[in-house]
Amino acid sequence: MLLPRLIPMLLIREKGLVKTTKFTDDKYIGDPLNAVRIFNEKCVDEIIVLDIDATVKGKEPDFNMIESLASECRMPLCYGGGIKTVEQALKVLSLGVEKVSLSAAAIQNPNLITEIADKVGSQSVVVTLDVKRKRFGGFDVLTHNGTKSTKCSPVDLALKFQDLGAGELVLNSIDNDGLMTGYDLKLVGEVKKHMTLPMTLVGGCGTFQDVEALHAQEGLIGAAAGSFFVFKGKYRAVLITYPSEDIRLSISNLFNPISST
């Protein structure tokens, strides 16, 4: 039986691990290397690491930091932040990273997706869209930590990037980020019905029931989270956790029940 993909997303700022709320009010929560070591022991499916300052500050990827993370990581690693060229993407992948995530760079230079995919295969190219609800309905894709509007819908961009050779799409809900009140199911529903690519949703997960609701609606879609895996209790004490295989099987059984004989 296929298990749901449950993916920790780690945000890096000034080499430290942080967690944001609606892309603001970031809180330092520790050393990313230590977090990776803990997730290793918990047999995590895969992990996403995003340097949230690299693009905003016009910096290239911190290759030394990426190499340190990749050398510790015993699960598939996706890295995003500051990648603007094919050469940078190839260097990141050469350090032991399995996937590179593009965001602002993909919007500014869509052909970069094709150029990287032609070199290493679509399976290594992820596009992450940071999405915010518009005041009078619909969705807008933003870049630069949610400060710049593209005036494009996530559906239009997702279809474009799919045609250009992206291998996976990550939808990041700005409105739900860090709130732990549930995923934006309307957002993922609107985008996924147009797509054939594997998709992952992030933003808002606070309980296993949120993951169950996502999979009940969309099937075996990737469920990523930050706060859910690093905070514990109403005071949000830092405690890195990850569900056991038994819990993941129980989620899977909700929409893929074992047939009776």
Q: Which residues participate in catalysis according to the annotation?
A: 130
Other beta carbons less than 10 A from residue 164's beta carbon: 18
49, containing H or E segment: strand 47-51
Concatenated DSSP letters for 82-126?
Answer: S--SHHHHHHHHHTT-SEEEESHHHHH-THHHHHHHHHH-GGGEE
DSSP-derived letter for residue 152 is -
Contact indicator for 132, 174 with CB cutoff of 8 Å: yes
Q: Nearest Cα to 177, choosing from 2, 26, 4?
A: 26
Task: Give the span between the Cα atoms of 205 and 194, in whole angstroms.
Answer: 23
Task: Give the span between the Cα atoms of 184 and 77, in whole angstroms.
Answer: 25
- For the chain, helix (H) and strand (E) counts, in that order, are 10, 14
The pair of three-digit structure tokens given for residue 203, joined into one six-digit string: 């933003």
Find the Cα–Cα–Cα–Cα dihedral 85, 87, 90, 91, rounded to 10°.
-110
Partnered with residue 24 across adjacent β-strands are: 21
Contact indicator for 231, 21 with CB cutoff of 8 Å: no
